[in-house]
Amino acid sequence: MKRSLALAIILCFLGLSLPAHSVAAAKAGSACPKIGKTAVIGGKKFTCVKSGKKSIWNKGVATKDPGTGVKKTDEEKSSPSAGTKWPVPSKLPSSFADLYDIRAGISYAAWLKISTAISTNASKIPAMEVLIGPNTKPWSNNHEEVIKQVSQAFPNQIIPKKLYVIFYNFNDQGWAESKIKEIVTAYEFSEWNRNEGGALVTSNCQPDLKDCLGAKAKNLRNNEIAFALMGVSNQVGMLEVNGSKYGGKGTSESNQTGMVLAHEYFHNLQSGPMSLAQSLQRSDFPPTWITEGTATLVQNAVINSNSFEKFMNYRKDAVGELIERQGIEEEFIKNFLSQKGWIAEPNWGGVSPDWSYQLGARVMEALVSIGGTDSLLEIHNLMSKKTGFDAMFKTIYGISFEEAVPVIAKALAANWKAGL
């Protein structure tokens, strides 16, 4: 699959426990991330102290911190987002029962859960080789750090043994193909190329623009090796060719910060259990709004894990012209979420792929705010076992998908009208 020109972000082909420290992780005697760190939960201030060889939360002391609901740690209170256009909410949703009533906390809850996972978990990354075409200059060079942060956000997921990241521009397409052929067998290349319609490398590029705006991910050999094929555009931001514009407001940031690679490596993590499964059919894969919406959420939350304000600003800028013009309406969301199976292209109903990426990301924000970070990949883990979409959803989130959809639609539509 190809990265959409409308978004200049990624569309790729896919080949539970909660994190150790979540929003309410501070509990007397439980493990804590760093000596001296504090957290205010339920009217008590807990401090991370050393006990023998372990770091644990102490018994806590009463605090007069005002407000109700989720208490903010010292670190969160000093966050650049505090007192800005994107205020930190005082309450976060915890179930579908309160998702609508506490809808203003959905985005912050999703960002905070991913940010907390990154700050508290050790990285677990595959052996990694970055290959860059002779005429190619990537717009970012933080490749290993990006992979590290994604792995910290999802430390419980299986990873490929070897990851190849290949950057190439329009002039280096032949070079990229030759590099892939050096790594995989002739049969593997033939099958992969066949599945890509005979355009394994070239499908990331646009001959009419003489440019490469696409990227894709693939896992092979039962997750032994994985690829992130990264097309590198001639221009970092929005392209303008013969009066037509390609890309969006968030394109420059996406390219310069490493979001594109974060997006693709998350797809590698999604693909891990799928590549190990036997005899999967297209119907066994999650719908595109989950696959691409989750990767879109993750790329933003991972790269902007240190700033809720930046997370929200990018989220607003990258929403897509079509969504911005049409708006996110409750009935449209309900109809959109009727897709419960994998589809070949994200142009659902013939409309812009903005919906699968950006509306999908907002739906996944709601789900991670309730189910935690690991739930995002548990979707693929369960479906790789032929669990089925409905059974998968109820197993992870505790209610049926049919019950969840009206709540999600109502909450997201109301947040859109409120500018959230």
Tokens, residue 153:
């956000």
Q: How many CB atoms lie within 10 A of CB 133?
A: 22
| Separation between Cα atoms, residue 152 and residue 118, nearest integer Å | 5
Instruction: Give the phi and the psi of residue 404 in degrees, each rounded to 5.
Output: -75, -35
321 and 248 Cβ atoms separated by less than 8 Å = yes
H-state helical runs in 251-400: 251-257, 259-276, 288-303, 308-317, 321-326, 330-336, 354, 360-371, 375-383, 389-397
Question: How far, CA to CA in Å, does 166 sit from each of 130, 177, 179, 215, 263?
Answer: 6, 10, 8, 10, 14
Predicted local confidence at residue 49, as pLDDT = 66
Beta bridge partners of 31: 56
Predicted local confidence at residue 321, as pLDDT = 78
Beta bridge partners of 131: 166
Predicted local confidence at residue 351, as pLDDT = 53
Where exactly are the structural domains of the chain?
1-15+123-276, 86-120+277-420
Predicted local confidence at residue 301, as pLDDT = 97
Q: What is the mean pLDDT of each run of 10 residues along the chain (420 residues)?
A: 38 32 50 66 62 67 44 41 70 95 96 95 93 97 96 93 97 97 96 90 92 93 95 85 68 92 96 79 82 96 95 91 87 87 50 81 96 93 89 94 96 95
Predicted local confidence at residue 191, as pLDDT = 92
Predicted local confidence at residue 80, as pLDDT = 40
Predicted local confidence at residue 69, as pLDDT = 40
| Separation between Cα atoms, residue 386 and residue 389, nearest integer Å | 9
Helix-strand-coil split of the chain, %, nearest 5:
45, 15, 45
Predicted local confidence at residue 47, as pLDDT = 73
Helix axes 375-383, 389-397, angle to 10 degrees: 150
Question: CA triplet 363, 337, 413: central angle to 5 degrees?
Answer: 55
Q: Which amino acid would we find at residue 83? A: G
Predicted local confidence at residue 51, as pLDDT = 66
Question: Would you give the distance in Å from CA 113 to the centre of its chain?
Answer: 12
Predicted local confidence at residue 7, as pLDDT = 36
